[in-house]
Amino acid sequence: AYFPDARWYDVYSLAEQQGVRTRSVTLAAPLDTIPLFYRGGAVLPLQPPRYSIADSRRQPFTLLALLDDQFAASGLLYVD
C-alpha cells in the first residue's frame, strides 16, 4: 500500500502508523481482517448500527477526531 504524506491511523486500534509516510509498505492482511486506515485531519461522526432508521435516530453520535500534523481536525455534519 502507498501512504501519501499525512498522519495515518489504524481503523481497528486507532494507533498512529509510524514510518509509512510517502512510502509503499507491505501490510499484513489475514483472511479475517481488512487493513483499513483513517487519514489525520478529519472529524468522523460515528453511530452504532441499528436495525431501523427510527432506532438509529434515538442513538447518540460519537465524534472521532483524528489529528493532522498541526494537531488539528475539522469536519461538517448535516443531520436532517
Cell reading at 31? 483472511
Query: From start to end of the chain, where are the E strands?
Result: 2-3, 8-10, 23-24, 37-39, 42-46, 62-66
The pLDDT assigned to 23 comes to 80
Chain segment 25-45, per-residue pLDDT in tens: 888 888 988 999 999 999 999
Q: Is the pLDDT of residue 7 over 90?
A: yes
Q: Is the pLDDT of residue 16 over 90?
A: yes
pTM of the model: 0.80
d(CA 66, CA 48): 19
Chain segment 43-69, per-residue pLDDT in tens: 999 888 888 888 888 888 899 999 999
